[in-house]
Amino acid sequence: MKFMLVVLITMGSPVIGEESKTFELRIPQESKEQCLRSAKTFRFSLPVISMETRCEPRRDDEEPAMKEI
């Protein structure tokens, strides 16, 4: 797996009085093309949830993960 699909999910909105929280998902992908294709599946938005995606080269010691940032 040579690339990581990075998905940033932000939930909450100051407009409705909620503090925003952002989570990061790192999902391994076999190739840049597959990563870019997968990134498109995460493109949507709702009033209190937004998502951003990007593809990054995978570091040798990097494992799939989910964390709050």
SS3 for the chain is CCEEEEEEEEECCHHHCCCCEEEEEEEEECCHHHHHHHHHHCCCCECCEEEEEEEEECCCCCCCEEEEC
pLDDT at residue number 14: 65
Residue 3 scores a pLDDT above 90: yes
Q: Residue 62: what pLDDT? A: 85
**Average pLDDT of the residues in 51-66:** 90
Mean pLDDT, the chain, rounded, equals: 87
* Residue of higher predicted confidence among 24 and 69: 24
Q: How confident is the model at residue 16 (pLDDT cuts 50, 70, 90)?
A: low
Q: What's residue 17's pLDDT?
A: 67
